[in-house]
Amino acid sequence: MINRGFTLIELMIVVMLVAIIAAIAIPSYEHFTRRAIAAQAQQEMHKLAEQLERHKSRNFTYRGFNPRYLYPTPPSPRIDSFDETKQELTLPLESANPKYTLTIVDGSVGNPLLTSSDAIGQRWAIKAISNDVRNSSFLLTSTGVKCETITPVNIETDPAKGVGCDYKHDDESEED
């Protein structure tokens, strides 16, 4: 009698090969999905920057810029990605689990919202803060500052404190 089945050893070898392939593929997939959402955040920042410049060319100021027209309120049950009161956009759009939060502020001291009466309207700053500690956060300003940091608390938009990303590590000591 001839057996036409698999032995336990053959089956274990196949399971082990599948496990090895999965151990390699899953982290690579996660890395590429993080890169994709970071690219989407940068793309949205540049789109907002373009619209801010259009607004200034028509109004001679950035004050009053409200990107609600770019992100209209979706019909229920979809999720609204743009918070008009905070001038914040969450990415991916219409997601219940946002990966990035983009905030648009006036580039003057104190960083009021551009929709605020306190806004000077001569500069702007857009921060993209990642909700994933393994992904970068970004800063883009009207004065040409572009930076990327893995630590979102290092992003500074207030000109009184120095606009940019501080790359200093916590273990570095300051010299007097």
Tens of pLDDT along 26-74? 888 888 999 999 999 999 999 999 999 999 999 999 999 999 999 999 9
Looking at the domain assignment, is residue 170 inside a domain?
no
Looking at the domain assignment, is residue 171 inside a domain?
no
Looking at the domain assignment, is residue 176 inside a domain?
no
- Give the C-alpha separation, 124 to 110, whole Å: 12
In terms of residue numbers, what domain contains 25?
Answer: 8-165
Number of folded domains that form the chain: 1
Looking at the domain assignment, is residue 72 inside a domain?
yes
Tell me: cis bond preceding 92? Omega within 30 of 0 counts: yes
Looking at the domain assignment, is residue 39 inside a domain?
yes
Looking at the domain assignment, is residue 174 inside a domain?
no
Positive or negative torsion for Cα 135, 140, 96, 94: negative
Using one digit for the tens of pLDDT, what is the confidence trace for 152-166?
888 888 887 888 887
Looking at the domain assignment, is residue 85 inside a domain?
yes
Give the other-Cβ count within 10 Å of 123's Cβ.
20
Which two structure tokens, joined as six digits, stand for 137? 């956060």
pTM value? 0.79
- Give the C-alpha separation, 126 to 139, whole Å: 6
Give the other-Cβ count within 10 Å of 64's Cβ.
13
